[in-house]
């Protein structure tokens, strides 16, 4: 690389500039010159990068004509007539900044169709369910993979020994550096954890019966809102309410590995509520009313005090039929917030960005509101990460466990 004013900048200044780039751009900058690669792979840079809060995106599925499947040994080959492309749509950026993360084949396992094989996202890592009891982790930024220990068949059985959805929570366990999947076996009567640092599932010792807990939370595949990780806990949205309108949120402490309940926002329609994280706070969007969405914030976590801050005009035209009418319809509704005061909310029939600081809707996302594009908004939120975990590996293109391509 020839001598330029940029190359003559102090290394600390270059590092500060590189820290402000999106995750994928940081990886590409390493190919520019050896000096930049040395900066972006240094431990202090990685630590600083990890501390910076990554911009939030919602994930959308785009359906495309199938590409040739290179890995003939894959049992799922030949079942796909189309591919699913997974795109990240940033909360604050223009629609043109939509980023293609990866592309993989759709199969008979893609049920319901809008979910694909994607179960969850945590700390820049996507959780895919390739088969019953078979889970893959993927960091689309570093293009690395990991595999969770496979579950024995009996762990995946539900009532009447029919295959069930045992997965309830996916999170990064900070003390151990492991990615963990929280599961429940209702037939065997216990909760268990599958992690990247273990060879087999680990049973949890809980006082509550599994049936009691699962009355208040839903599996990852069918929940309307993904559990939100904050302050070392996973939080599920309320399902039931009292006659007074008070609700309860179920939380799982990832350190003590115990369940508890805490107050939720007041609502007449808790099944139409979605939780999200914004500026370090737990927040909720209540879609229960026809003409507006109520925004609630847990301003004081220790005292568990919820505050109703704002009322947003509905992203759907009145009478258009776009607004979901039940919790099943809420699965295709997206909500995410960022550190700039913006919230994106809606689905394919209406998707808007609302600025809580200005108190107004600042943008309508039109690209996903056209059925011909075959783009479907999902309930998943993604924050890219360049952290390379020791349990992940970088496969060759021929050995890639799931995808056709990264773009």
pLDDT in tens, the chain (407 residues): 455 656 667 877 877 777 777 666 776 776 677 777 787 777 667 666 655 557 899 999 888 887 665 554 444 444 557 888 899 998 987 766 788 899 887 765 444 444 447 999 999 999 999 888 889 999 998 889 999 999 888 887 665 445 578 999 999 999 999 999 999 988 888 999 999 988 899 999 988 888 889 889 999 988 888 999 999 999 999 988 776 788 999 999 999 999 999 999 999 999 999 999 999 999 999 999 999 999 999 998 988 999 999 999 999 987 777 788 887 888 889 999 998 899 999 998 889 999 999 999 998 887 666 666 788 899 999 999 888 888 898 876 666 666 767 76
pTM surpassing 0.85?
A: no
Residue 223 preceded by cis peptide, ω within 30: no
What is the number of helices (H) and of strands (E) in the chain? 5, 24
Categorise residue 280: left if φ over 0, alpha if ψ from -120 to 50, beta otherwise: left
Helix, strand, coil proportions of the chain in percent (round to 5)?
A: 15, 40, 45
Burial environment of residue 227 by CB neighbours within 10 A (0 to 12, 13 to 18, 19 or more) = buried
Tell me the three state secondary structure of residue 250: strand
User: Could you tell me the domains of the chain?
Assistant: 11-52 (no CATH), 53-399 (2.120.10.80)
| Secondary structure (DSSP) of 271-303 | GGEEEEEETTEEEEEE--SSSEEEEEEEEETTT
SS3 call for 47: helix
Q: What tokens appear for 389 in the block?
A: 């975990």
Per-residue CA distances from 111 to 131, 307, 398 (Å): 12, 37, 27
């Amino acid at each position: 690389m020839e001598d330029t004013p940029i190359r003559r900048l102090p290394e600390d200044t270059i590092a500060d500039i590189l820290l402000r780039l999106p995750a994928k751009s940081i990886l590409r900058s390493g190919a520019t010159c050896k000096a930049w690669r040395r900066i972006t792979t240094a431990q202090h840079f990685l630590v600083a990068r990890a501390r910076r809060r990554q911009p939030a995106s919602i994930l959308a599925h785009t359906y495309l004509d199938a590409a040739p499947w290179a890995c003939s040994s894959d049992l799922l080959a030949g079942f796909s007539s189309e591919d699913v492309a997974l795109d990240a749509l940033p909360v604050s950026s223009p629609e043109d900044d939509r980023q293609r993360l990866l592309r993989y084949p759709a199969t008979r396992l893609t049920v319901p169709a809008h979910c694909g094989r994607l179960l969850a996202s945590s700390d820049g890592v996507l959780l895919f369910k390739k088969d019953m009891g078979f889970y893959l982790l993927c960091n689309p930024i570093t293009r690395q993979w990991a595999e969770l220990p496979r579950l024995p068949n009996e762990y995946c059985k539900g009532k009447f020994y029919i295959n069930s959805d045992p997965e309830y929570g996916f999170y990064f366990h900070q003390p151990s550096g492991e990615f963990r999947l929280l599961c429940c076996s209702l037939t065997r009567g216990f909760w268990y954890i599958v992690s990247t640092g273990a060879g087999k599932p680990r049973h949890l010792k809980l006082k509550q019966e599994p049936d009691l807990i699962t009355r208040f939370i839903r599996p990852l595949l069918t929940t309307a809102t993904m559990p939100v990780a904050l302050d070392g806990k996973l939080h599920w949205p309320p399902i039931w309410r009292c006659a007074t309108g008070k609700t309860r949120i179920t939380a799982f402490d990832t350190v003590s590995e115990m369940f508890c309940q805490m107050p939720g926002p007041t609502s007449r329609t808790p099944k139409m509520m979605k939780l999200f994280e914004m500026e370090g706070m737990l927040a909720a969007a209540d879609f229960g009313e026809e003409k507006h969405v109520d925004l609630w914030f847990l301003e004081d976590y220790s005292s568990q005090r919820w505050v109703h801050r704002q009322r947003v005009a509905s992203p759907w035209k009145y009478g258009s039929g776009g607004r979901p009418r039940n919790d099943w319809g809420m699965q295709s509704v997206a909500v995410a917030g960022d550190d700039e005061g913006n919230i994106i909310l809606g689905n394919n029939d209406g998707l808007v960005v609302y600025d809580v600081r200005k108190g107004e809707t600042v943008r309508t996302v039109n690209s996903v509101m056209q059925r011909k594009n075959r783009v479907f908004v999902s309930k998943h939120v993604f924050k890219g990460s360049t952290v390379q975990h020791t349990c992940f590996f970088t496969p060759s293109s021929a050995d890639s466990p799931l995808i056709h391509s990264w773009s």
